[in-house]
Amino acid sequence: MLASIRPDDINLALFVHVLGAMTLVGALVTSASAAVVGWRDTTGPLLRLSYKTLLFLALPAYIVMRIGAEWTYVKENLDELDEDPAWVGIGYITADLGALLLLLGLIIGGVGLYRSRSGGGVGLLKASAVIAMILIVFYVIAVWAMGAKPD
């Protein structure tokens, strides 16, 4: 019989967290890829797709990821420790800063999307896409921390 790494009652919470995180990173990569491919297009259909991917995929995925993270945190009794492990701190920092950047990107991109209806806003949509690219770096660091668990 194989030994379990963690109690089975944590599996659902961890699954929700990982599913949200994987969907979030996938949405960010899709958003950034669409923006890179459509970077020189002045009409901006791929930049609009990039923004809509952030809005309709990345934002809900972020919410699911954070719900799963808090649920897992409580289920693993990490809230009862005197001090959080380093990997938890890295996760919180990247998630919180990531939320701020994601909201900033959504606001900037939303204004850009509104202006794109009258032929402008491409620069703002590009700025939103650059934020998505920065978020990818943040979440690669978070994935490393969650996997390597540095102390």
Range of weakest confidence among 2-6, 18-22, 63-67: 2-6
Task: Answer whether residue 6 shows pLDDT above 80.
Answer: no
The span from the CA of 50 to the CA of 47, in Å, is: 5
- Model pLDDT, residue 3: 52
Q: Between 80 and 5, whose confidence is greater?
A: 80
What is the rounded distance in angstroms from the CA atom of residue 121 to the CA atom of residue 101?
19
Answer yes or no: pTM beyond 0.95. Answer: no
Whether 72 is covered by a domain: the verdict is yes
Asked whether residue 49 is assigned to any structural domain, the reply reads: yes
- Residue 73 in any domain: the answer is yes
Please report the pLDDT score of residue 67 as a whole number. 97
Q: Which two tokens stand for residue 63?
A: 């919410």
In a domain, 134, yes or no: yes
- Considering the domain boundaries, does residue 89 fall inside one? yes
Indicate the number of domains in the chain.
1
For the segment 101-121, what is each residue's pLDDT rounded down to a tens digit? 999 999 999 999 999 888 888
For residues 52-63, average pLDDT: 98
Answer whether 20's CB lies under 8 Å from 63's CB.
yes
Would you give the DSSP letter of residue 124?
H
2 in a domain, yes or no? no
Domain extent for 69: 9-148
